[in-house]
């Protein structure tokens, strides 16, 4: 006799009560009190569920016709995912959409037109958590108005590999900056009663062989780098779901990795949400269920429907305890209750979006994410003194570049540059119709001459006939592909050098997803990193170039001088057959990611983490730091000493006097202050204790060693302004504490 998980007679008798509890309709609620806690409601709902309803809840479909399987009829067409709800229990369908830059559409003839935020790395470059939140709130609203209640955002994988094709979706190389910025974006999305994810847990830091690569990394090194970024993002954003990644970690697939999912995420960090797989990242039934996966995503991406009939049988045969299936379903429902999905159902028919309001949010993030890398002769901001301005390359006459893959947001009217890039996934290359040339022409009275830049000599001739040349250089990066090197593609370095050699003032605007090398740097007068600047990117670039807004972005990732400076000369797996399994050893750098690696090895980068120029100048005074309840409290003042309004991004780094850390210093905090000329502002920053600690795997604890620490106030990792010393007592605290 098969053991029923919920004896029918029992369920029938108590169903009304359970239903009421699940639906939060207790007497207290009826009297206007608080609905029962999400945990209670989820537990009640699961208790009222049949076995089949629980299985239905943990097994997700791709909501796009794929591999001969039609999408579920109730799923939103051409979107990421669908899981059927349980109507009798008031549980809605889960309607999933990608991704971090806005409401994406899977490749289709008629993609939805939605607002694209600038790339995640651009929002990170703003160092402005409020902008990250606002961006998340905007795309979460567009997701809701498009019929979605789950949004697959929150890419927080550290930039260990500057050639990684998905760096544009993430937030750079530092765990604190990444965790804070992505955590805020997650919080913004969920403010719309939409469940957000954080992804891809963990160590999915390259695209080459992403489903085959086995990442080797020690526990302590991971806890102080990639895992810390996830931990901070989860603390700040409280995402309903964590998406486990494609790769293996120390021999086990991330989506059936007991260490990652059960030990670190659920035990040490006390995570109460659910783990969904990436699309095609589920590899088993029993190991996956027992090792912490709660939902298989995107059927038929995987080889088998592991969490459908096979899971039901595993539960009925006792290979997966019924309590574990209950836990899986309960985690999913808890996330839905906690984010108000039951009380705020999404509509099937798309609702009207305030496109202008969305565009303003995107533009604000793009403007503050643009980094002024070089401006030696003060050529920028541009004045109205030019007769002829040459605009060269980057399709700057019609739009700005965006990154490729599952996060692709499509513009109204389609890409103004058709038929570029691969025809199939992760292509095609999509430009967003926000023309830098048009936006500049609306602000400067010059005559504008556009040249596509493909022929360097011809482009140089156009430059020679102008008073100023602005070259737009592009690097299309995308999911599933890594860059072969750090060079701009399509001989753009030649074009830039030729244009600069024409002898006219020359500005370079980079639209890239990652750091790039610049062999022409000495020959040009100014360089802006605009990344993929989103739906209003042309306007944002023009406003920064003309000084309507200050250049206030700061690099969230180091720009290397060459690949020789990197932990790995080549991306591991490069050139191997598609099916080849291989490993990559992150123990080479360990927790010393990015600037930490460069400082540990004594490498001089092209541009340092935190670098970015302003059109005004700032002074810093009154730096003080004191031990504060196991952490450090830092105070200082910033003043605008220039003639223009501007935004300062003072950074605080911490160092341990003596040995024990992975690198000389770590980012401990920062502020961003908008200051008028002559105005000053005070900053008070609390250094996260984990940034002062080393993780002790044996004790499974963070440990701050007693002794002296140096607090450095800086304008960039390589631009210290002032230092002060602090003595700290020894302190140990739990893996999930601060
Ligand atoms: C993709 C990506 C993931 C995305 C998912 C759904 O392969 O890795 O970020 O959310 O599948 O499209």
**pLDDT tens-digit readout, 554-572:** 999 999 999 999 999 999 9
Per-residue pLDDT at 109: 85
**Cβ(470)–Cβ(495) below 8 Å:** no
Which atom belonging to ligand 1 lies closest to the Cα atom of 204? 8
Q: Is the CB of 169 under 6 A from ligand 1?
A: no
Which atom belonging to ligand 1 lies closest to the Cα atom of 298? 6
| Average of per-residue pLDDT across 271-291 | 98
* CATH code of 383's domain: 3.40.50.1700
* CA proximity to 55, closest of 282, 275, 325: 325
Atom 8 of ligand 1: nearest residue by CA position: 278
Q: What is the pLDDT of residues 317-370, one digit of tens each?
A: 999 999 999 999 999 999 999 999 999 999 988 899 999 999 999 999 999 999
Per-residue pLDDT at 446: 98
| Average of per-residue pLDDT across 107-127 | 95
Q: Is the CB of 152 under 6 A from ligand 1?
A: yes
Q: What is the pLDDT of residues 585-600, one digit of tens each?
A: 999 999 999 999 999 9
Final residue of a structural domain among 331, 346, 361: 346
Which atom belonging to ligand 1 lies closest to the Cα atom of 99? 10
Both 463 and 388 in one domain: the answer is yes
Ligand 1, residues 61, 98, 302, 405: which to mutate, most atoms within 8 A of Cβ? 98
Both 391 and 320 in one domain: the answer is no
Q: Is the CB of 98 under 6 A from ligand 1?
A: yes
For residue 442, give Cα distances in angstroms to 435, 538, 610, 615: 11, 11, 32, 21
Ligand 1, residues 155, 245, 406: which to mutate, most atoms within 8 A of Cβ? 406
Confidence of residue 19 (pLDDT cuts 50, 70, 90): low
Domain-located, residue 576: no
Q: Is the CB of 80 under 6 A from ligand 1?
A: yes
Distance in angstroms (rounded) separating the CA atoms of residues 424 and 345 = 34
Per-residue pLDDT at 7: 38
Ligand 1, residues 80, 254, 297: which to mutate, most atoms within 8 A of Cβ? 80
Final residue of a structural domain among 549, 578, 596: 549
Domain-located, residue 707: yes
Q: Is the CB of 166 under 6 A from ligand 1?
A: no
Distance in angstroms (rounded) separating the CA atoms of residues 28 and 551 = 53
Strand 94-97 and strand 79-83: the pairing is antiparallel
Report how far ligand 1's centroid is from the alpha carbon of 166 (Å).
11
Report how far ligand 1's centroid is from the alpha carbon of 424 (Å).
16
Distance in angstroms (rounded) separating the CA atoms of residues 410 and 412 = 7
Per-residue pLDDT at 3: 37
Known catalytic membership, residue 696: no
Active-site residue identified among 214, 268, 278, 493 = 278
Q: What is the pLDDT of residues 159-195, one digit of tens each?
A: 999 999 999 999 999 999 999 999 999 999 999 999 9
Q: Is the CB of 279 under 6 A from ligand 1?
A: yes
* CATH code of 673's domain: 2.60.40.10
Both 279 and 406 in one domain: the answer is no
Report how far ligand 1's centroid is from the alpha carbon of 152 (Å).
8
Which atom belonging to ligand 1 lies closest to the Cα atom of 210? 8
Final residue of a structural domain among 549, 583, 598: 549
- Residues counted in the chain: 738
| Average of per-residue pLDDT across 644-666 | 98
**Predicted confidence (pLDDT) at residue 2 exceeds the cutoff of 50:** no
Cα 160-166-167 angle, rounded to 5 deg: 45
Distance in angstroms (rounded) separating the CA atoms of residues 656 and 708 = 7
Report how far ligand 1's centroid is from the alpha carbon of 7 (Å).
39
Report how far ligand 1's centroid is from the alpha carbon of 730 (Å).
43
Bin 675: left if φ > 0, else alpha if -120 < ψ < 50, else beta. Answer: beta
Per-residue pLDDT at 16: 63
Cα 367-139-70 angle, rounded to 5 deg: 135
Confidence of residue 30 (pLDDT cuts 50, 70, 90): very low
Per the prediction, the chain carries an average pLDDT of: 95
Q: Is the CB of 406 under 6 A from ligand 1?
A: yes
Written as six digits, the tokens of 541 are 């670039």
Q: Is the CB of 478 under 6 A from ligand 1?
A: no
Per-residue pLDDT at 158: 98
Which atom belonging to ligand 1 lies closest to the Cα atom of 406? 12
Atom 11 of ligand 1: nearest residue by CA position: 279
Report how far ligand 1's centroid is from the alpha carbon of 170 (Å).
13
Per-residue pLDDT at 108: 86
Q: What is the pLDDT of residues 46-101, one digit of tens each?
A: 999 999 999 999 999 999 999 999 999 999 999 999 999 999 999 999 999 999 99
Ligand 1, residues 479, 480, 481: which to mutate, most atoms within 8 A of Cβ? 479
Both 214 and 79 in one domain: the answer is yes
Domain-located, residue 219: yes
Report how far ligand 1's centroid is from the alpha carbon of 279 (Å).
6
Cα 111-76-246 angle, rounded to 5 deg: 85
Report how far ligand 1's centroid is from the alpha carbon of 153 (Å).
9
Written as six digits, the tokens of 392 are 């060269």
Distance in angstroms (rounded) separating the CA atoms of residues 164 and 599 = 21
Both 313 and 382 in one domain: the answer is no
Atom 4 of ligand 1: nearest residue by CA position: 406
What is the 8-class DSSP label of residue 579? T
Domain-located, residue 361: no
**Predicted confidence (pLDDT) at residue 28 exceeds the cutoff of 50:** no
For residue 114, give Cα distances in angstroms to 351, 413, 426, 694: 12, 11, 18, 44
Per-residue pLDDT at 24: 57
Both 539 and 463 in one domain: the answer is yes
Per-residue pLDDT at 34: 66
Q: How many domains does the chain have?
A: 3
Confidence of residue 107 (pLDDT cuts 50, 70, 90): confident
**Predicted confidence (pLDDT) at residue 17 exceeds the cutoff of 80:** no
Both 90 and 15 in one domain: the answer is yes
Q: Is the CB of 550 under 6 A from ligand 1?
A: no
Per-residue pLDDT at 33: 58
Q: Is omega for the bond preceding 288 within 30 degrees of 0, making it cis?
A: no
Place of tokens 């369920």: 11
Report how far ligand 1's centroid is from the alpha carbon of 281 (Å).
10
Q: Is the CB of 204 under 6 A from ligand 1?
A: no
Report how far ligand 1's centroid is from the alpha carbon of 146 (Å).
19
Q: Is the CB of 277 under 6 A from ligand 1?
A: no
**Predicted confidence (pLDDT) at residue 452 exceeds the cutoff of 70:** yes
Which atom belonging to ligand 1 lies closest to the Cα atom of 199? 9
Q: Is the CB of 278 under 6 A from ligand 1?
A: yes
Confidence of residue 454 (pLDDT cuts 50, 70, 90): very high
Which atom belonging to ligand 1 lies closest to the Cα atom of 155? 9
Report how far ligand 1's centroid is from the alpha carbon of 246 (Å).
10
Q: Is the CB of 99 under 6 A from ligand 1?
A: yes
Domain-located, residue 363: no
* CATH code of 194's domain: 3.20.20.300
Both 65 and 169 in one domain: the answer is yes
Helices (H), ranges, 591-713: 595-601
Both 334 and 396 in one domain: the answer is no
**Predicted confidence (pLDDT) at residue 457 exceeds the cutoff of 90:** yes
| Average of per-residue pLDDT across 439-460 | 98
**Predicted confidence (pLDDT) at residue 23 exceeds the cutoff of 80:** no
Burial status of residue 340 (CB atoms within 10 A of its CB: 0-12, 13-18, 19 or more) = middle
Report how far ligand 1's centroid is from the alpha carbon of 547 (Å).
38
Q: Is the CB of 255 under 6 A from ligand 1?
A: no
Per-residue pLDDT at 36: 74
Report how far ligand 1's centroid is from the alpha carbon of 374 (Å).
36
Confidence of residue 388 (pLDDT cuts 50, 70, 90): very high
Ligand 1, residues 152, 197, 201: which to mutate, most atoms within 8 A of Cβ? 152
Task: Report the predicted TM-score, pTM, of the whole model to 2 decimal places.
Answer: 0.96
Q: Which residue range(s) make up the domain with 637?
A: 617-734
Distance in angstroms (rounded) separating the CA atoms of residues 528 and 518 = 12
Which atom belonging to ligand 1 lies closest to the Cα atom of 152? 10
Confidence of residue 5 (pLDDT cuts 50, 70, 90): very low
| Average of per-residue pLDDT across 451-476 | 98
Which atom belonging to ligand 1 lies closest to the Cα atom of 98? 10
Both 440 and 341 in one domain: the answer is no
Both 145 and 267 in one domain: the answer is yes
Domain-located, residue 58: yes
Q: Is the CB of 302 under 6 A from ligand 1?
A: no
Both 385 and 342 in one domain: the answer is no
Written as six digits, the tokens of 548 are 């309507």
Domain-located, residue 593: no
**Cβ(420)–Cβ(428) below 8 Å:** yes
Domain-located, residue 602: no
């Amino acid at each position: 006799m098969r053991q029923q998980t919920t004896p029918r007679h029992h369920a029938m008798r108590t169903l009304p009560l359970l239903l009421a509890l699940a639906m939060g309709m207790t007497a207290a609620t009826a009297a206007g009190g608080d609905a029962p806690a999400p945990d209670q409601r989820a537990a009640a709902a699961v208790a009222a569920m049949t076995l089949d309803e629980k299985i239905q809840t943990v097994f997700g479909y791709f909501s796009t016709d794929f591999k001969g399987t039609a999408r579920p009829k109730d799923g939103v067409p051409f979107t990421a995912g669908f899981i059927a709800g349980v109507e009798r229990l008031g549980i809605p369908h889960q309607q999933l959409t990608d991704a971090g830059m806005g409401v994406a559409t899977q490749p289709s003839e008629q993609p939805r037109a939605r607002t694209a935020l600038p790339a995640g790395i651009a929002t990170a470059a703003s160092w402005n958590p409020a902008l990250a939140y606002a961006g998340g709130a905007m795309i979460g609203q567009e997701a809701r108005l498009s019929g979605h209640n789950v949004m697959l955002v929150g890419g927080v994988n550290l930039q260990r590999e500057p050639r990684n094709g998905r760096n544009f979706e993430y937030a750079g190389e530092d765990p604190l900056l990444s965790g804070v910025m992505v955590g805020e974006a997650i919080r913004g999305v969920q403010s719309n009663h939409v469940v957000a994810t954080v992804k891809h847990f963990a160590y999915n830091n390259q695209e080459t062989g992403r489903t085959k690569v086995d990442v080797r990394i020690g526990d302590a090194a991971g806890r102080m780098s990639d895992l810390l970024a996830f931990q901070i993002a989860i603390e700040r954003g409280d995402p309903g779901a964590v998406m486990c990644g494609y790769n293996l970690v120390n021999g086990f697939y991330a989506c059936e990795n007991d260490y990652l999912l059960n030990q670190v995420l659920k035990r040490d960090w006390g995570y109460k949400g659910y783990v969904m797989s990436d699309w095609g990242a589920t590899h088993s039934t029993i190991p996956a269920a027992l090792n912490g996966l709660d939902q298989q995503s995107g059927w038929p991406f995987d080889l088998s429907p592991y969490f459908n009939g096979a899971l039901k049988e595993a539960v009925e045969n006792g290979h997966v305890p019924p309590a574990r299936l209950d836990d899986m379903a309960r985690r999913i429902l808890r996330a839905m209750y906690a984010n108000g999905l039951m009380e705020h159902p999404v509509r099937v028919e798309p609702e009207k979006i305030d496109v202008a309001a969305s565009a303003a949010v995107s533009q604000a993030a793009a403007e503050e994410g643009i980094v002024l890398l070089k401006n030696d002769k003060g050529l920028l901001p541009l004045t109205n003194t030019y007769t002829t301005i040459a605009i060269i390359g980057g399709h700057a006459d019609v739009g700005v570049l965006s990154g490729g893959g599952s996060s692709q947001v499509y513009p109204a009217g389609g890409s103004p540059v058709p038929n570029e890039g691969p025809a199939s996934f992760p292509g095609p290359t999509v430009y967003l119709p926000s023309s830098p040339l048009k936006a500049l022409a609306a602000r400067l009275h010059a005559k504008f001459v556009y040249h596509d830049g493909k022929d360097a000599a011809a482009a140089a001739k156009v430059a020679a006939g102008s008073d100023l040349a602005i070259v737009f250089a592009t690097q299309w990066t995308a999911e599933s592909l890594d860059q072969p090197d750090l060079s701009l593609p399509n001989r753009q370095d030649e074009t830039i050098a030729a244009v600069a050699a024409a002898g006219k003032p020359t500005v370079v605007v980079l639209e890239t997803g990652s750091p790039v090398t610049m062999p022409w740097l000495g020959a040009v007068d100014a360089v802006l990193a605009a990344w993929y600047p989103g739906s209003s990117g042309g306007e944002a670039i023009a406003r920064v170039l003309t000084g309507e807004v200050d250049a206030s972005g700061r690099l969230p990732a180091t720009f290397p001088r060459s690949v020789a400076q990197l932990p790995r000369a080549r991306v591991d797996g490069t050139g191997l057959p598609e099916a080849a399994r291989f490993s990559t050893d992150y123990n080479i750098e360990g927790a010393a990611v990015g600037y930490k690696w460069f400082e540990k090895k004594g490498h001089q980068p092209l541009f340092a983490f935190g670098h970015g120029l302003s059109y005004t100048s700032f002074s810093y005074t009154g730096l003080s730091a004191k031990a504060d309840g196991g952490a450090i409290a830092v105070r200082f003042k910033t003043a605008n000493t220039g003639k223009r309004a501007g935004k300062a991004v003072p950074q605080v780094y911490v160092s341990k006097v003596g040995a024990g850390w992975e690198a000389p210093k770590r980012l401990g905090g920062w502020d961003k202050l908008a200051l008028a000329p002559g105005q000053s502002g005070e900053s008070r920053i609390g250094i996260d204790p984990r940034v002062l600690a080393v993780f002790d795997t044996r004790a499974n604890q963070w440990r701050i060693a007693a002794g002296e620490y140096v607090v450095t106030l800086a304008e960039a990792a390589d631009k210290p302004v002032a230092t002060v010393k602090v003595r700290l007592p020894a302190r140990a605290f739990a893996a999930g504490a601060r």
